[in-house]
Amino acid sequence: MPTPVTRKNSPNLYLHKKVPVRLQKLLGKKQVWKSLGTAEPKEAAIECALANAELEAEWVRLATAASTARAPRPPRLPEPSIPAPKVPSLSHQDLYALRRAAHVRIRDAHIANPPSAGFRVAHMLAQDLDASMREFFAEQGVESSEANLALFRQHYDQARRGALDDLKRARLEGDFSPNPVLAKLPERITPKLDLLQAFEEYAAKGGLKGGTKGPTAKRWRPKIKAFVEWLGHRDLSKVTTENAYAWSDHLIDEGYARKSIRDVWIASLSATAGFMLERRRLAQNPFRGVKVRDDVAEMAKQEQIAQPRQKGFTASEATTILAATVATTSHLISVEMRAARRWLPWLCAYSGARINELTSLYPRDVTQDPTSKIWCMVIKPSLEKTSQWRTVPIHSHVIEQGFLEYVEERRKSGLPLFYDPARGRGGTAGNPQFKKVGERIGEWVRGLGIPVGVQPNHGWRHTFKSVARHVGMDREVEGFITGHRPKNANAGHDYGDRWVATMAAEIEKYPRYRLAALKKAPAPQKRRRRTPVQLAAAAEAKTTRKASRAKRAAEMK
């Protein structure tokens, strides 16, 4: 079994496999490289096993075709992407296990009132065998291919006749005892409904934001795999509500927060099972309605702790952050990061927007409303919580500080406002470059002395909502600005157009932050040379990082 390996100039791990000598001429190559679509070792190991099985099956098919035809057409190898979920092939044991399931299914459908012999012969055995098998395969999650039908045809006929014998015995002799043949038949080893494949299908087709590579899928996928490892199998059709509660109890014993168990661990499983239930491939959702209640002892303990601080910034904290935006930065910081520090806190403060809604902006997203001539930001649906476009007027105080001049500079360069794609390091859809900008801004704000009790970027959203209430902004219009729908809003919330002039009037109610630092000319940048001790420490840190990367690469080989 090959293991994932690294490849030059790619962040992802790969499957590397030599082509059998007998197929090298046919394929025109001696080795195959296939991207596993991830850099995570554990996830890559699973993808590697799937890709290897797929490749081996393809080579077997090619070898068979080559032996029966002189010049078979070389097939196209799979594209280097995440393989689509596949229906497992039937093993020899599965055939007998399916025979057992078919026997029980037919028997139990009539055992309460066993039919007469005439009905048995005239109706049951007269049914189309292949049509019955296809219906049975659909219930069992088995592909109704011609190969599977041919393999199972004899077994299904035996199951049907065995079930009819049970019904005859029950009808004529009143004997409802279990058939001794069933005791010899095994259980299925191939999952009827593979939970891991079900999750990937849900992520791709179930409306999960960002799809299979989005942040939600990236966060949920390890939770699904951890449940499978704990449970000991991955057949979703066999999972019970008792399993769900045992899993939540296990997570509590492991020390996980109950809110995290509710909102992530159980939620990911329930969403996947719910999607399979919606597709009529699962009888019931075993995770639906599972409660993870708060610990009474912990709640009593929390009552004794001092009241938690507010979620938004205090006036002094807001002043500290905004004053730092006009401070002279190091010459080592990129143009984009200097701009991010300069403008993002102000834009967050005066709009209540989420940080990644702003870090992803392009110059074309800053536009002038054709009717009111008011400058706005057009926030588009992305990988964040927002699911629809919205237009947010820019506060006049930000415009007066020269924000539009900076936007024009970036417009001429054709680059995003707060990052340069050329500086990217191969970010994925679930971890894009603009998200890293938001993380860096959060680290910078935290370094200004902002306490841990408030989120360094999202705190502005809480602050905006608080100020909006204080100055009497219209709740409905404020919801248009922040992308929130009031919980008690009536149906009229979705009627009418969202006029930019109306929203701008509400935003201008937000009082200006008056800072003395805005009136001072910025100090010139100073190039600070590092001391020999600092240079030596930096060189040692670089050597350590290189050794760590080499060690990880060696472990994955």
| Rounded Cα distance, 555 and 549, in Å | 10
How large a percentage of the chain has pLDDT more than 90? 37
Instruction: Evaluate whether 330 touches 349 at the Cβ level (below 8 Å).
Output: no
Decide which of 433 and 397 is more confident. Answer: 397
DSSP per-residue string spanning 336-399: HHHHHHHHHHHHHHHH---HHHHHT--GGGEEE-TTT--EEEEEPP-SSS--S-EEEEPPHHHH
Instruction: Evaluate whether 120 touches 172 at the Cβ level (below 8 Å).
Output: no
Helix, strand or coil, per DSSP, at residue 5: strand
List, for residues 190-209, the tens digit of each pLDDT value.
778 889 989 999 999 988 87
Q: CB-hemisphere CA count at 13 Å for 452?
A: 0
- Could you tell me which of 45, 48, 16, 34 has the C-alpha nearest to residue 79? 34
Residues in the chain: 557
| Residue 208 dihedral angles phi and psi, to the nearest 5° | -70, 125
Q: Quick check: 218 pLDDT over 80? A: yes
pLDDT band at 79, cuts 50/70/90?
very low
Q: Which two tokens stand for residue 233?
A: 């199998």
The angle subtended at Cα 248 by Cα 242 and Cα 251, nearest 5°, is 140
Name the least confident of 48-62, 136-150, 192-206, 457-471: 48-62
pTM of the model: 0.56
- Could you tell me which of 243, 223, 245 has the C-alpha nearest to residue 231? 243
Catalogue the long-range contacts made by 371-380 (C-beta closer than 8 Å, 24 or more residues apart): 371/499, 371/500, 371/501, 372/499, 372/500, 372/501, 372/504, 374/500, 374/501, 374/504, 375/399, 375/404, 376/500, 377/347, 377/351, 377/353, 379/353, 379/483
**What's the confidence (pLDDT) of residue 458?**
94
List, for residues 480-515, the tens digit of each pLDDT value.
999 887 655 555 556 778 899 999 999 999 999 999
pLDDT band at 24, cuts 50/70/90?
confident
pLDDT band at 167, cuts 50/70/90?
confident
| Residue 379 dihedral angles phi and psi, to the nearest 5° | -95, 120
For 18, the enclosing helix (H) or strand (E) is strand 14-18
- Could you tell me which of 271, 262, 108 has the C-alpha nearest to residue 205? 271
List, for residues 384-427, the tens digit of each pLDDT value.
556 678 899 999 999 999 999 999 999 999 999 999 988 876 65
Q: Which two tokens stand for residue 118?
A: 């005439």
**What's the confidence (pLDDT) of residue 10?**
84
Dihedral sign for Cα atoms in the order 485, 486, 490, 496:
negative
Highest-scoring range by mean pLDDT, 170-184, 366-380, 428-442: 366-380
Name the least confident of 63-77, 236-250, 298-312, 500-514: 63-77
Instruction: Evaluate whether 285 touches 270 at the Cβ level (below 8 Å).
Output: yes
Q: Quick check: 88 pLDDT over 60? A: no
Average pLDDT over residues 519-531: 71
For 209, the enclosing helix (H) or strand (E) is none
- Neighbour order of strands in the sheet with 366-368: 366-368, 375-379, 390-393
Helix and strand counts by DSSP (H, E) for the chain: 23, 5
Q: Quick check: 119 pLDDT over 50? A: no
For 195, the enclosing helix (H) or strand (E) is helix 195-205
| Rounded Cα distance, 185 and 155, in Å | 12
| Rounded Cα distance, 209 and 430, in Å | 10
**What's the confidence (pLDDT) of residue 357?**
92
Q: Quick check: 226 pLDDT over 60? A: yes
User: HEC profile for 125-185?
Assistant: CCCCHHHHHHHHHHHHCCCCCHHHHHHHHHHHHHHHHHHHHHHHHHHHHCCCCCCHHHHHC
**What's the confidence (pLDDT) of residue 78?**
43
Name the least confident of 42-46, 91-95, 432-436, 540-544: 42-46
Burial-class residue 48 by CB neighbours within 10 Å (0-12, 13-18, 19+): buried
